[in-house]
Amino acid sequence: MKYVNEKDINEEIKWAQINTDILQSLQNPRKAYWIAIAVCLAMLSCAVVAEVYQYQTGLGVADLNRPHMWGLYIATFIFWIGMSHSGTLLSAILHIIHADWRKPIYRFAEAMTTFSLMTAGFFPMLHLGRMWNLYWVIPYVSDRGIWPNFRSPLVWDAFAITTYLTSSALFLFIGMIPDLAICRDNVTGWRKKLYTVLSLGWQGTDRQWRHFRKTYMLMACFLIPLAVSVHSIVSSDFAMSIMPGWHVTSFPPYFVAGALYSGCAAIITLFILLRYFFRLEEYMTVALMEKTCKLTFAIAMVWTYLNLVEFGATWYGHDPVAKEVLISKFVGPFAPYFWAMMFFGSVLPFALAFEKLRRHMPTMMIVSILLNVGMWLERWMIVGPTLSHAYAPEAWNFLWPSIVQWAIVFGSFGWFGLLFLIFVKVFPCVSMYEVKEMVFHRRREAHAEVAEKFHRRAADVQQATGRPSVEGA
């Protein structure tokens, strides 16, 4: 309770100081940043080697065969799609409800969404094997008159992910334009050229801000149902089949909750890393960290509830095959991973309920990584056990994924990390203009008499000139 009056951000900070601090973060990160880049490159090279080997030898080296047609590639695909959810979705929701504490942290969360989607997109390609035929999934007019099967959830996936990636990337870009103009006005060299092109001549005129406000709000309104639909559609890949353990009505909300959960955990991890790499302690404050942790805890409890609902529905549903799959998760060969998932996903989040732990960055770093380990295991527990214990008992077996699969999954984290780290070095990871807005409005709220004088003056002017007020227009 001693932190109850703690402020989200230093409200007395000068606007010029905000520019200086954030622009400086683009120039001189700590040494740990470069170490992280090297680690990501090393991880990525594991995946490249494994993929080259798989490409030249054939998909057999991934051990994907009946009954294990889907393996780590699809589990990790769902994981990355899930990871993408919190960034844009939470940013849009918090924007609509005017929760201004999102402002210092939403930029990197949105970037996380875009790069997670770009990482996720690789897995169906790798999984399909014949990558050179990938264009078959694109609906185009051809001499053969062949079209994809639009009834298939797999095609829905392709459409939904393309829409989500396009919309999220545009949302990220539009939200960055005023900051790109700040960068343009304050840097030299190649960066100046880049920011000049990307800022599109932004000058901060009332006309530009007016259209910006409407556009950003409209895009946020579109992105909320879109984000929910994307993960519901990914859940349809499973729920629309008749496989035991997958044909469950609670799958869409379960997937959405899981997606939000892993995304929030990833935001905590990246929050701590960026705060350290770029010395952003003044903007990524402990108070904001606390809010993110509380949100993650709430979502963790929703996820736990939906998990229990799924188990209960299967147990009392008396479908013997589905029950068999459930029992195999509890006590079969998948049991260690299943119980690890339950521990990391449902028990560990209670660490987020303790103020002392929430405020301790190293603890939160470890907890957030373990939460995501739990969420990755969850995706594996969706894919693996059902294929191991489906309708044909003669095909029941447990398959440990091959080294090629592990290497590509491992490398995907390097790919994501690399894209993300390059982004935050080239573009400001804290929104400068929104932090200015945040301190401006909070300062004004703190000095209510100034705001009162301000509005009284506007009212006087309206009375004198006879023009109607457009407040709230």
Partner 1 sequence: MKKKYRVLGLFSDFEEAFAAIADIRQYKVPGVSVDDVRLMSPIEHPEIEEVLGERPAHVPKFTLAGAIFGITFGFLFLASAQANFLVQPQGGKPVVPLPSNIVLTYEMLILFGVIFTVISFLTLSGLLFGKKEKLYSEKIAVDQIGIIMELDEDTFEPLKALFRQHKVLEIREEVIK
- Binding to partner 1 (CB under 8 A) within 182-201 occurs at 182, 185-186, 200-201
Compute the distance between CA of residue 316 and CA of residue 186 in angstroms, rounded to an integer: 64
Nearer residue to partner 1 within complex by CB, 181 or 387: 181
Helix (H) or strand (E) holding 288: helix 286-317
Compute the distance between CA of residue 208 and CA of residue 316 in angstroms, rounded to an integer: 58
Nearer residue to partner 1 within complex by CB, 159 or 396: 159
Nearer residue to partner 1 within complex by CB, 243 or 357: 243
* From 172-180, 257-265, 337-345, 393-401, span contacting partner 1 (CB under 8 A): 172-180
Compute the distance between CA of residue 152 and CA of residue 460 in angstroms, rounded to an integer: 62
Interface positions, 132-151, toward partner 1 (CB under 8 A): 139, 145-147, 149-151
Nearer residue to partner 1 within complex by CB, 67 or 153: 153
| Residue appearing with tokens 């929910």 | 228
Least Å from the CB of residue 92 to partner 1: 12
Compute the distance between CA of residue 134 and CA of residue 124 in angstroms, rounded to an integer: 9
Compute the distance between CA of residue 461 and CA of residue 41 in angstroms, rounded to an integer: 61
Interface positions, 427-456, toward partner 1 (CB under 8 A): 433-434, 436-437, 440, 450, 454-455
Interface positions, 327-366, toward partner 1 (CB under 8 A): none
For partner 1, the binding residue among 156, 254, 338, 415 (CB under 8 A) is 156
Contacts 24+ apart (CB under 8 A), 18-21: 18/283, 18/432, 18/435, 18/436, 18/439, 19/182, 19/186, 19/432, 21/280, 21/282, 21/283
The 10 Å Cβ neighbour count of residue 229 is 16
Compute the distance between CA of residue 405 and CA of residue 403 in angstroms, rounded to an integer: 5
Nearer residue to partner 1 within complex by CB, 28 or 465: 465
Choose among 119, 384, 110, 362: nearest CA to 243.
384
Least Å from the CB of residue 385 to partner 1: 27
Least Å from the CB of residue 453 to partner 1: 8
Where b means 16+ CB within 10 Å and e means fewer, 337-351 reads bbeebbebbbebbeb
Number of residues forming the site for partner 1 (CB under 8 A): 73
For partner 1, the binding residue among 55, 159, 406, 410 (CB under 8 A) is 159
Least Å from the CB of residue 443 to partner 1: 11
For partner 1, the binding residue among 1, 4, 97, 473 (CB under 8 A) is 473
Least Å from the CB of residue 170 to partner 1: 5
For partner 1, the binding residue among 3, 10, 12, 15 (CB under 8 A) is 15
Nearer residue to partner 1 within complex by CB, 163 or 250: 163
Nearer residue to partner 1 within complex by CB, 27 or 57: 27
Helix (H) or strand (E) holding 186: helix 153-186
Say if CB 81 and CB 128 are below 8 A apart: no
* From 78-86, 167-175, 362-370, 422-430, span contacting partner 1 (CB under 8 A): 167-175
For partner 1, the binding residue among 134, 174, 422, 426 (CB under 8 A) is 174
User: Residue 68: what are its φ and ψ, rounded to 5°?
Assistant: -95, 65
Compute the distance between CA of residue 355 and CA of residue 3 in angstroms, rounded to an integer: 9
* From 125-133, 168-176, 279-287, 394-402, span contacting partner 1 (CB under 8 A): 168-176
Q: What mask of x and - would describe binding to partner 1 in positions 204 to 243, judged by CB under 8 A?
A: xxxxxxxxxxxx--xx--xx-xx--x---x----------
Nearer residue to partner 1 within complex by CB, 63 or 282: 282
